[in-house]
Amino acid sequence: MATTDRQATTLALAHALSAAERGLAVIPLSRTKLPALRSPHHDAPATPPCHGECGRLGHGVYDATTDPARIRELFAAAPWATGYGIACGLPPHHLIGVDLDTKSGTDSSAALRELALRHLFTIPDTVVVLTPSGGRHLWLCGPPDVVVPNSAGRLAPGIDIRGAGGYLVGPGSRTDHGAYATAPGTAHFAPGACPPALLRLLLPPPRTHHPTPPSTGGHGQGLVQFVLAAHEGQRNTRLFWAACRAYEDGIGPALVDPLVDAALHTGLSEREARATIASAARLTGHQP
């Protein structure tokens, strides 16, 4: 059994190094699909939470790296690892994982096709990973200035999204339930670009209660409120979502300055805000 585990660890390391060569940041995983290294703050949680600033290993997805020496160090510290995780949301791919589950009793693939028909988008050619339970992971690329959050079942029953702060089990990993493998004919693909219509569905909906915004009036006022309500970690996401809605509703150009002002109130720089709004304009087919 020990020999089998060592072989699984060696294979997982080889697959992880191969993924890193493609620009994918990785961490070692145990057979339970969880990060293999225990948090160094397990007995005394750090306040504020430590994301690796302490310099020790064991910070989950925050340990993810493409550096071969660092990857070997991570696996050397976790010789029981039998798989690896691929961090989402990081450059250069800004990976978004669409997890089509089979355990929910629903046809998640059919649900995704229905969404595609309803919102007029097509899933591009991309890497597809087959899971031991019969599900599929679709790898998509997001834009660099948009933070896609993790979600479970929000898009549709049986469809989970792995975004910033999340990870996907990499092909070649072995778990308690079996092995993950790239679907035939997809291994040579790069992650396909996430369709703009799907990207907008992945962003969080606006809240119902917001602070009073600068005066804009009408629907634009609600979009500015939505941006003003953003907390750290969601400012770019909310600004991008609001700008997309503004351009789709024909009020984008008129709302640029109010949205920039709202973004400045949340702590974004003017340069960041205008770049995010310009990205939303391009994704909705408008000139920034």
- Note down the domain range covering 258: 218-283
Residue 189: inside a domain = yes
- Dump pLDDT digits (tens) for 5-14: 778 889 999 9
114 shares its domain with 154:
yes
Residue 123: inside a domain = yes
Residue 255: inside a domain = yes
Tell me how far apart the alpha carbons of residues 134 and 1 are, in angstroms, rounded to a whole number: 26
Residue 117: inside a domain = yes
157 shares its domain with 65:
no
- State residue 209's pLDDT score: 42
Weakly modelled stretches of the chain, pLDDT under 70: 1-4, 46-47, 104, 205-219, 232-233, 288
197 shares its domain with 223:
no
- State residue 50's pLDDT score: 83
- Do residues 39 and 95 make contact, with C-beta atoms less than 8 angstroms apart? no
- Axis crossing angle, helix 270-283 with helix 235-248, rounded to the nearest 10: 40
Tell me how far apart the alpha carbons of residues 133 and 113 are, in angstroms, rounded to a whole number: 20
76 shares its domain with 119:
no
Domain total of the chain: 3
Residue 32: inside a domain = yes
Q: Which of 175, 202, 229 is the last residue of a domain?
A: 202
pTM above 0.85, yes or no: no
54 shares its domain with 135:
no
248 shares its domain with 160:
no
96 shares its domain with 182:
yes
- State residue 182's pLDDT score: 97
Residue 212: inside a domain = no
Nearest by Cα to 24 from 96, 99, 128: 96
State the maximum Cα–Cα separation within the chain, in Å, rounded to a whole number. Answer: 68
83 shares its domain with 103:
no
Residue 209: inside a domain = no
234 shares its domain with 130:
no
138 shares its domain with 237:
no
Tell me how far apart the alpha carbons of residues 49 and 41 are, in angstroms, rounded to a whole number: 9
- Dump pLDDT digits (tens) for 20-68: 999 999 999 999 999 999 998 888 776 678 888 888 999 999 999 999 9
Q: Which of 61, 87, 113 is the last residue of a domain?
A: 87
Tell me how far apart the alpha carbons of residues 152 and 162 are, in angstroms, rounded to a whole number: 9
Q: Which of 35, 68, 87 is the last residue of a domain?
A: 87
184 shares its domain with 273:
no
Residue 50: inside a domain = yes
190 shares its domain with 109:
yes
